[in-house]
């Protein structure tokens, strides 16, 4: 039976991952800012088979609170077998371009908060010498594009941070998984005019995540074809890339 | 956003909202007091779930409580029947009533008061609902049941989303020992034999017949009747899920008189003797079409409509054969024609089933289809029958009112609870339910 901490547990993707673990009888600890919704999610996961589900309010903006929240979670679960970091925002790129405040807010939620979280959790996991730290980054972090480079650069920071962390924690037997989803049909992308053919379902992404946790993969793209899409995009020379409207 | 129902006809360009909590539903009702349309998984065929402002239930999809002793499940309206099966079949519980697809929501199943192959013994979906929580407007969330606001309960079950937004419901599940079904298929050479088979097998919990609606003359109404019951053993094995997707619209030319005839003939001769029995998993038994996702694209880009009517038992054979003859003569017959004997009607104001026979068949949308369907409407009404609202995309106000004489009571309940303006759909406007 696994002890699982989920940060940003009201996320659609995280929710589907939680259902999978619940069906196997996991003990879950959920952090999120919407506690009313967390309550309903917890009820749902219990019925689906989770041995226990606890919830705690958490706002990514409030970095001061992290240490205490995480210690409480660790004390309650006794051990983190899996930690999934899922919170994030996809802000309005256009608005960010004319607002320092909005830009820094995006960086704050998507990069700074995640990195702060990981710094604390990493040390807890080093002590327990086992477990998986799974972080949802994004294909958007693989290359900066005019349409979403604020979000993309935050995710790039997370990806690089995890790369380094993986090497460090590897020596303590802790597995670090970087998850790079493509476009997923979740509240985050709601209302955006995206090609339906390229929109993955959160269920499908969750299946890939659980599988990667089991296999102890280092980096996954989900759905799989994004690995090839991104490897193409990454190799376009900058002098052409800058002229493309992506 | 352009949306359509399962038949891909008609389409609407409307706004879709995805409330994630009862509070968000209340706020949306406040800001759209001139009318919203609840929407589940869009498996109704026509325009029941279409409107200018649609409230999609996909984020109201939590199981809220389960009484494992009684098998009573309390869940949000956006939970799908597929989800319920996945979680509860391994625990030995099954849906009390299920339509021919598991990709519908609890809210949609209540709003259409759906029936399954066991209607003759277990009635409609609503008959297994303990209570419903219904959001009427910004301020009111009412719990309704047979004891609390019974008038609203009777209007909401089968009420096509026109009496409020269902937020959650309590459903009585049914205990099973196995996820398998013992199925027997019987062959009937004509309509008379088909109807006789329903009589003979009326004690079987599940029964449905597949009718070859192209066959004429002495073979008119020949069919395969399938009966089934939950097996006593074999294990509680979950289903395998979907397998195959139709990625593009098929050219609708592929579906013509000859291909349908060929299909019908092959299917009918699958059963060589008078009956065959085997044990099958519940998935192929209840949901044969769910193994092909997006099969609705088969009818081409203009879409299709399903014509489903019921006629009272007394009108039985005569009415059915008149209607079948008209369809066969038109040459527009369909791939699927499903015949079922219904049990007694319930007290809901707009529920479709009544004691008698129901036939459902698909027609691709093409020129001259609607005049044919209009003439079928007249025959159905003549015999005291009616059409199923959740399949309908085209009937006229007159046909609706004659088929559903309790529509005035339905309007009165909506008036009494002040929801007439707040809940509408393309269909309700077409049928004069505004
Ligand atoms: C392959 C197939 C087989 C089928 N077989 C059967 C069958 O055997 N028997 C049968 O009875 N039906 C059958 N149906 C029809 C289907 O069961 C109904 O149309 C059902 O209502 C669809 O549910 P949905 O969640 O997709 O709802 P939608 O199609 O999205 O909506 C249907 C109606 O319910 C209302 N509604 C949805 N959610 C709510 C809510 N939360 N509150 C209030 N109103 C709401 C909508 O406004 C609309 O009027 C079949 C459909 C298909 C595609
Ligand atoms: N959807 C995609 O196409 C896509 C693609 C690549 C990567 N991703 C990444 O996948 C992860 C999950 O996103 P999703 O697609 O599942 O979208 P989602 O359902 O919108 O989830 C986003 C989550 O972040 C939470 N959150 C946002 N700001 C927060 C804050 N200040 N404090 C606490 N929590 C906060 C949200 O909480 P509330 O519920 O309270 O709003 C929500 O739970 C994100 O990291 C996202 O960047 C998504």
Residues of A in contact with B66 (CB under 8 A): 47
Rounded to whole angstroms, how far apart are CA atoms B211 and B190?
9
Give the alpha-carbon dihedral of B263, B265, B271, B275, to 10 degrees.
110
Per DSSP, B189 falls in state S
List, in order of start, the domains of chain B with CATH numbers: 60-176 (3.30.465.10), 180-395 (3.30.70.2520)
User: Under a CB-based contact definition with an 8 Å cutoff, are residues B28 and B36 in contact?
Assistant: yes
Torsion, Cα A139 A141 A145 A146, to 10 degrees, reads 120
Count of residues for chain B? 434
Per-residue pLDDT averaged across A79-95, rounded? 97
pLDDT tens for each residue of A148-190: 999 999 999 999 999 999 999 999 999 999 999 999 999 999 8
How many CB atoms are located within 10 Å of the residue A189 CB? 13
Q: What are the chain B neighbours of A190 within 8 Å (beta carbons)?
A: 18
Distances in Å between the Cα of A141 and the Cα atoms of A118, A147, B9, B53 are 18, 12, 41, 36
The rounded distance, in Å, linking the Cα atoms of B136 and B46 is 24
CB-based burial label for B379 (10 Å; 0-12, 13-18, 19+): middle
Answer yes or no: are the C-beta atoms of B376 and B311 closer than 8 Å. Answer: no
Q: What is the rounded distance in angstroms from the CA atom of residue B372 to the CA atom of residue A148? A: 54
Cα–Cα distances in angstroms (integers) from residue B103 to residues B106, B185, B358, in the given order = 10, 25, 22
Q: How far is CA A122 from CA A69, A161, B226, B424, in A?
A: 15, 12, 60, 53
Q: Taking 80 as the threshold, does the pLDDT of residue A41 lie above it?
A: yes
Residues in chain A: 246
Give the closest residue to B431 by CA, choosing from B384, B386, B382. B386
Please check whether residue A163 lies inside any domain of the structure. Answer: yes
User: Which residues does a 6 A CB cutoff place in the pocket of ligand 1?
Assistant: B 6, 37-44, 48-49, 57, 77, 99-101, 104-105, 107-109, 111-112, 114-116, 160-161, 165-166, 289, 390, 425
**Considering the domain boundaries, does residue A95 fall inside one?**
yes
Helix H segments across B335-417?
A: 369-382, 397-403, 407-416
The answer to whether position A79 is within a domain reads: yes
d(CA B197, CA B202): 8
Q: Which of A12, A4, A10 is nearest to A187 (CA)?
A: A12
- Ligand nearest to the CA of residue B109, numbered in listed order: 1
Active site residue A151: yes
Maximum distance among all alpha carbons in chain B?
62
What is the rounded radius of gyration, in angstroms, for the C-alpha atoms of chain A?
18
- Chain A residues in contact with B59 (beta carbon < 8 A): 187
Ligand 1 atom showing the smallest separation from residue B388 Cα: 11
Nearest to B205 by CA among B293, B144, B117, B287: B117
Q: List, in sequence order, every residue forming a beta bridge with B229; answer none if it has no partner.
A: B182
Residue A139 sits in a domain whose CATH number is 3.40.50.720
Quick one: tokens of B181? 């079904």
B66/A36 Cβ within 8 A: no
The pairing of beta strand B292-293 with beta strand B244-245: parallel
Tell me, yes or no, whether A28 lies in a domain: yes
Say what the pLDDT of residue B240 is. Answer: 79
Using alpha carbons, list the distances in angstroms from residue A20 to A29, B87, B389: 14, 11, 37
Distance B112 CA to ligand 1 centre (A): 6
DSSP state, A190? T
Tell me if B63 and A44 make a contact (CB, 8 A cut-off).
yes
Instruction: Using alpha carbons, select from B116, B216, B242, B232 the residue that is nearest to residue B176.
Output: B232
Q: State the residue for tokens 């289809």.
A: B369
pLDDT of residue B246: 58
Domains in chain A: how many in total? 1
* Facing B21 at nearest CB: one of A36, A48, A187: A36
Record the tokens describing residue B112, joined without a space. Answer: 């259409």
Those residues of chain B that have pLDDT short of 50 are: 253-254, 259, 262-263
In a domain, A146, yes or no: yes
Contact indicator for B42, B81 with CB cutoff of 8 Å: no
Task: List the structure tokens of B129.
Answer: 């609902």
pLDDT for the residue A124: 97
The order of strands in the sheet holding A3-7 is A52-57, A27-32, A3-7, A82-85, A132-136, A175-181, A219-222
Centre a 10 Å sphere on the Cβ of residue A244 and count the other Cβ atoms it contains.
Answer: 10
ipTM above 0.85 for this complex: yes
Residue B212 burial by Cβ neighbours in a 10 Å radius (0-12, 13-18, 19+): buried
What values do phi and psi take at B201, rounded to 5? -105, 25
Whose C-alpha lies nearest to ligand 2, atom 47?
Answer: A88
Residues B413/B151, Cβ–Cβ less than 8 Å: yes
Give φ, ψ of A243 to 5 degrees. Answer: -90, -10
Per-residue pLDDT at B110: 98
Q: In DSSP terms, which residues pair with B3 in a beta bridge?
A: B12
Residues 44-63 on A with a CB inside 8 Å of B are 44, 47-49
DSSP conformational letter for B421: T
Residue B77, C-beta contacts closer than 8 angstroms, at least 6 positions apart: B40, B57, B60, B105, B106, B107, B110, B165, B166, B167, B168, B169
The pLDDT assigned to B268 comes to: 61
Look at residue A193 in the predicted model and tell me its pLDDT: 80
* Cβ–Cβ below 8 Å for A190 and B62: no
Residue A99 structural domain: 3-241
HSE, side-chain direction, 13 A CA sphere, residue B428:
27
What is the overall mean pLDDT for chain A?
A: 96
In this prediction, residue A168 carries a pLDDT of 98
Buried b (16+ CB within 10 A) or exposed e, A127-137: eeeebbbbbbb
CA gap A203, A23 in Å, rounded = 14
Pairing of strands B180-188, B275-281: antiparallel
User: Does A246 map to a domain?
Assistant: no
A39 and B CB contact within 8 Å: no
Which 174-193 residues of chain A touch chain B by CB within 8 A? 187, 190
């Amino acid at each position: 039976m696994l002890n699982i901490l989920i940060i940003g547990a009201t996320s659609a993707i995280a929710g589907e991952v939680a259902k999978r673990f619940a069906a196997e009888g996991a003990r879950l600890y959920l952090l999120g800012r919407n506690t009313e919704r967390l309550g309903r999610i917890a009820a749902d996961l219990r019925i689906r088979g989770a041995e226990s589900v606890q919830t705690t309010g958490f706002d990514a903006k409030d970095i001061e609170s992290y240490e205490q929240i995480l210690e409480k979670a660790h004390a309650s679960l006794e051990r983190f077998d899996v930690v999934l970091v899922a919170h994030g925002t996809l802000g309005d790129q256009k608005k960010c371009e004319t607002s320092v405040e909005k830009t820094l807010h995006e960086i704050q939620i998507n990069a700074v908060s995640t990195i702060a979280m990981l710094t604390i959790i990493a040390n807890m996991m080093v002590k327990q010498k086992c477990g998986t730290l799974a972080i949802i980054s994004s294909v958007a972090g693989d290359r900066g594009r005019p349409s979403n480079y604020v979000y993309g650069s935050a995710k790039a920071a997370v990806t690089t941070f995890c790369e380094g962390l993986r090497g460090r924690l590897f020596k303590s037997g802790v597995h670090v998984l970087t998850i790079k989803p493509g476009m997923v049909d979740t509240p985050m992308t709601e209302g955006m005019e995206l090609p339906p053919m390229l929109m993955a379902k959160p269920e499908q992404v969750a299946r890939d995540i659980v599988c990667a946790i089991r296999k102890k993969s280092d980096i996954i793209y989900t759905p799989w074809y994004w690995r090839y899409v991104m490897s193409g995009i990454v190799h376009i020379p900058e002098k052409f890339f800058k002229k493309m409207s992506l | 956003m352009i949306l359509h129902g399962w038949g891909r006809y008609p389409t609407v360009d409307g706004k879709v909202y995805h409330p994630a909590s009862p509070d968000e539903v209340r706020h949306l009702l406040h800001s759209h007091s001139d009318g919203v349309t609840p929407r589940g998984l869009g498996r109704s065929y026509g325009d029941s779930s279409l409107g200018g402002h649609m409230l999609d239930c996909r984020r109201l999809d939590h199981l809220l409580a389960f009484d494992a002793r009684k098998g009573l499940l309390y869940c949000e309206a956006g939970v799908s029947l597929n989800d319920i099966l996945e979680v509860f079949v391994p625990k030995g519980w099954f849906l009390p009533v299920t339509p021919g697809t598991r990709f519908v929501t609890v809210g949609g199943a209540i709003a259409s008061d759906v029936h399954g192959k066991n209607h003759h013994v277990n009635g409609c979906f609503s008959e297994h609902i303990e209570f419903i929580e219904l959001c009427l407007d910004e301020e009111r969330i009412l719990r309704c049941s047979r004891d609390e606001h019974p008038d609203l309960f009777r209007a909401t079950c089968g009420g096509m989303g026109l009496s409020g937004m269902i937020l959650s419901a309590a459903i009585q599940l049914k205990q099973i020992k196995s996820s398998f079904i013992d199925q027997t298929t019987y062959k009937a050479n004509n309509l008379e034999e088909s109807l006789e088979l329903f009589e003979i097998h009326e004690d079987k919990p599940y029964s449905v017949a597949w009718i070859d609606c192209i066959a004429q003359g002495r073979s008119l109404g020949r069919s395969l009747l399938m009966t089934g019951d939950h097996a006593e053993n074999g294990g509680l094995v979950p289903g395998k899920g979907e397998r195959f997707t139709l990625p593009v619209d098929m050219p609708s030319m592929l579906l013509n008189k000859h291909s349908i005839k060929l299909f019908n003939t092959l299917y009918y001769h699958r059963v060589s003797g008078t009956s065959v029995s085997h044990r099958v998993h519940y998935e192929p038994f209840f949901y044969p079409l769910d193994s092909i996702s997006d099969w609705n694209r088969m009818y081409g880009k203009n879409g299709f409509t399903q014509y489903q009517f019921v006629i009272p038992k007394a009108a039985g054979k005569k009415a059915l054969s008149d209607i079948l003859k008209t369809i066969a003569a038109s040459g527009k017959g369909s791939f699927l024609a499903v015949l079922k004997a219904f049990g007694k009607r319930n007290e809901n104001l707009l529920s479709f089933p009544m004691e008698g026979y129901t036939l459902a068949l698909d027609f691709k949308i093409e020129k001259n289809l609607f005049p044919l369907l209009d003439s079928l409407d007249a025959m159905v009404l003549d015999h005291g029958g009616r059409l199923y609202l959740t399949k309908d995309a085209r009937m006229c106000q007159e046909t609706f009112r004659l088929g559903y004489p309790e529509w005035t009571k339905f309007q009165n309940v909506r008036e009494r609870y002040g929801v007439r303006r707040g809940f509408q759909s393309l269909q309700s406007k077409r049928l004069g339910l505004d």
